[in-house]
Each structure stands twice: as C-alpha cells, then as structure tokens.
Chain A
Amino acid sequence: MLHRFANPTRFLRIASIAQPWIAWATILLAGTGLYLGLFNSPADYQQGESVRIMYVHVPAAWMAMFCYTSMAIAAGIGLIWKHPLADIAAKATAPVGACFTFLALFTGSLWGKPMWGTWWVWDARLTSMLVLLFLYLGYIALINAFDDPARGTKSSSILVLVGLINVPIIKFSVDWWNTLHQPASVLRMDGPSIDESMLWPLLLMALAFKTYYIWVLLVRIRAEIISNKIRILRLRQVHG
C-alpha cells in the first residue's frame, strides 16, 4: 500500500540523476543527425534538396504513433494497477505526442508543396495523422475538463484505450477512402531502397527524437508531481 505511494519520491531521485545525461544524449544525437542529414548526405535525384525534410518528418511521424501507444500503455497500467506514476506519465506524454503529430503534419505539408505543388493533399498517411492529432487534442481537452484531477485522469485513460483500439480501424477506413478517391500516394519513404548515406542520419534523428521525448517526459513528470504536492498542500489548508 504505502510503497506505491512512496514510488514517486524514488522516481524524483532517479529522474534528477538521469535527466542531464539524457539531455546531452539528445543534443549529441540531434547535432550529429542534423549535420549528416543537412550537409553530409546527397540530395535525392527526384526530390532534390527537399528530401532533407524527411529527417524531421519521418521521425516525427514515428514518434506520433509511439507516443500514443505509450500513452495507452501507461493509461492501462494506471487504470488496472492504479499506479499514480503511470497516470502522470500518460498525462505528461499527451502534449508531447500532439506536438510530434503536428510537426509531422507541418513538415509533411512543407514537403508536399514542392512534391505535389500544393500545401495539402488528402493523402492517406497525412489524413490518418490529422485524425491522430484530434485524438490527442480530445484527450488533452478531456483530462483538463474536470475540477477533480483524479476524475480527469480516469476518464481520459478510458478514452485513450478506446482510441487505441480505434486507431487501426481508422487507419483502415482512411486507406479505403483514399484509394477510392485518389491515386496511390506519391510520398513513399518505405522500402529497403534507401541509401546508407541517408539511412544513418535518419536513424540518428529517430534516436534523438526518442531521447528528446524521454527528456521532456522527465521534466513534465517532475513538474506534475510538484504541482500535485502543491494541490495537496492547498487541500490541507482547507481541511485543516
């Protein structure tokens, strides 16, 4: 009983040690990745220099999905085992995931301009990403809509689990819809044909995004724990 309440304290201790290391790892990885990607890799023979948007776009899109899944796992742990840290982690992940999703959409749109000649195309991936963004926004709106934060946490945890089950269905529907209305997507990054000189910076950037996520997550969880403590102090003032 009490050990689970004590856990956040232990977490705070470990987090304060780990945080600078993760911050440095992020800076190093992102620095190397960006240097390789922007200066030390070839331009694409079809897409030209604009292919370099990929080094931000693709990792951001990966992170968008990764964050949603992590959020759902954390929410599930919070619901089943009532672990307060898991609830906080889910809550702290949401805005980060939403930002990654937005970044993926934004860079996708920038990429689309030279590729398709227009800022936005209802491409299956971009559209799924757009729906994902609204799943994030709905979660964030719901978790903040209650006067009692515990209620918000539980409600939004159920929402994110329902959402997770829905994500593949939405993806499938959007793909179906897209093939009916559009020719196949132009934006193809998959396939093993990617050159090694492009693969390295891409992987480095993907790692950098991941460590960046952990870094921000640690900061946000610490902030959340502290604000919870302030709330409890306030409650104590009221109830004596």
Chain B
Amino acid sequence: MNIFSAENLFCVRGGRTVFTGLGFTLKAGEALVLVGPNGSGKSSLLRLMAGLLKPASGILRWGAEEISEDPEGHGGRLHYVGHHDAIKPVLSVSENVSFWASLMNGGSGNGETTLGALNTLGIGHLEKVPGRFLSAGQKRRVNLARILSTPAPLWLLDEPTTALDRESITSLETAIIHHRAGGGMVVISTHSDMQLANHQVIDLAGFAETCPMLEHSL
C-alpha cells in the first residue's frame, strides 16, 4: 500500500522562513486539506510535495523511498495543478489534454480517455476549440481534464476551484471521490468550501516561525 509522508519540513523562501517542523502521513485513499492565511506557505508546501521545490531541511518519502532520490519517478506518479493552466492558445482543447497524457504514458495519448475526461467536466463540446478562445473557468476545467485523462496515485491541487462555477466544483468533488475510491491520494489547498469526506487538515498558520531568526535566516 502506498504511503506519502514527510517529517520536519523546513521551508525558506527568499530569505524568509515560511514554515518549520511540518510533517504529515497520507495513506492510499486519503485526502489532506491545507488551510491558512495568505503567505502561510500552502503553495510552497504543495510545490515541496511535487518536488518542484527542495526543502531547506526535512524529508519527503513515498513508501520508504525519499522522493529526492528519484525525482523523475516521483513526477511520474503525481498530477500537479498550480496557478497556471498551461493551455497553449494555438492548440485545440483535446490536443492540449492529449499532449500531457501522452507525455505521462510515454507516447500513447488515447483519444477516448481524453474525450471522457472532457465530458466529466462538462466541456466535451469544446473538444476542437483552440485554447485562445477559452474563458478562465474553461481553461481551469481543461487543466483538470488533463489530470483525469491519465491515472496517477497522487493529486496535488493548488486552489483548484479558482474561476470554477458551482457545477464544475461538484464535478471535481465527484472526480476526487472516484480517485480516492481507487486508492488515490489527494492534497488540496483551498479557500472555498469543497465537500470532502473524512479528510485530514493542516493549518499552516500553526507552523509559522515563532521566534525571531534574523541571524539565522541570512
């Protein structure tokens, strides 16, 4: 069984300590919600989990293996949704999605799964539309269709509901339920209220630097 865990994470950004002593354990099928005020490090924590960012100290593990040992392997088992949607304006919606799918699967993008993913999020009719015509909410849905089109055990979603309407949020919630039912894990940072069954919560405000560290943080 997969376990994604971390201990004693220490994150420094631009000379400022963002959080210290943070740890978590996430088992297959579990969900983790990150809350906290602006600048408390929700995005940084997600980027640490993805391996985009290296912790100043502390260890992230997948099972027994440290993720820094095999960054490509780790990248291959996760889906990350960040602040940008990575939609190419000149490619059609299905081309956008199937590129990432084929990169994930090593060259075999599947038309049917792409369309299925688009339909799940209610944008199947936009399949042939170039990215430049999409609204912000539609772009976000295409980005979410990207993670639905190929399976990966770990989803890291940074504010996934930005620009989404109530209906799309419900589709996302359903998708997350399916993902977890299949043994997938999900970590979400969110401001709006998403309906997630029995999830863990990390409040990043609790891990902020408490004592002044001016001398140390140079």
Residues of A within 8 A of B (CB): 1-2, 5-6, 8-9, 84, 148-150, 225, 228-229, 231-233, 235-236, 239
Contacts and interface: CB of A to CB of B under 8 A. Distances in A.
Contacts of A149: 14
A232 B16 contact: yes
Given A231-B15, A232-B16, A225 B216 contact: no
B10 to A, nearest CB: 8
Main secondary structure of the interface of A (DSSP, over half): helix
B56 interface: yes
A9 B218 CA distance: 9
Contacts of B14: 148-150, 235
Contact of A2 (B15, B16, B214, B216): B216
A11 B14 CA distance: 22
Contact of A228 (B10, B39, B216, B218): B218
B215 A9 contact: yes
B119 interface: no
B52 to A, nearest CB: 14
A232 B216 contact: no
B57 interface: yes
B68 interface: no
A232 B39 contact: no
Given A1-B57, A239-B39, A6 B215 contact: yes
Contacts of A228: 15, 218
Given A8-B218, A148-B14, A233-B214, 11 more contacts: A1-B56, A1-B57, A5-B217, A6-B215, A84-B218, A231-B15, A232-B214, A232-B217, A235-B14, A235-B16, A236-B16
A8 B39 CA distance: 27
10 contacts: A2-B216, A5-B217, A6-B216, A150-B15, A228-B15, A229-B214, A235-B14, A235-B15, A239-B16, A239-B39
For this complex, into which size category does the number of interface residues on chain B fall? 10 to 19
A233 B15 CA distance: 10
A218 to B, nearest CB: 17
A239 B204 CA distance: 14
- The 10 lowest CB-CB distance pairs between A and B, nearest first, are A5-B216, A235-B16, A232-B15, A1-B57, A8-B218, A148-B14, A228-B218, A239-B39, A2-B216, A232-B217
Main secondary structure of the interface of B (DSSP, over half): loop
Of B15, B217, B218, which is in contact with the most chain A CB atoms at under 10 Å from its CB? B218
Contacts of A6: 215-216
Contacts of B57: 1
B59 to A, nearest CB: 13
A5 B215 contact: yes
B16 A229 contact: no
Interface string B16-58: 1000000000000000000000010000000000000000110
Contact of A229 (B10, B39, B56, B218): B218
Interface string B198-218: 000000000000000011111
Nearest to B16: A235
A75 to B, nearest CB: 18
Interface in B167-218: 214-218
B64 to A, nearest CB: 23
Given A150-B15, A239-B16, A232 B218 contact: yes
Contacts of A236: 16, 214
Contacts of A229: 214, 218
Interface string B76-102: 000000000000000000000000000
B12 to A, nearest CB: 9
Contacts of A231: 15
Contacts of B10: 1
A236 B208 CA distance: 12
Nearest to B217: A232
A185 B97 CA distance: 62
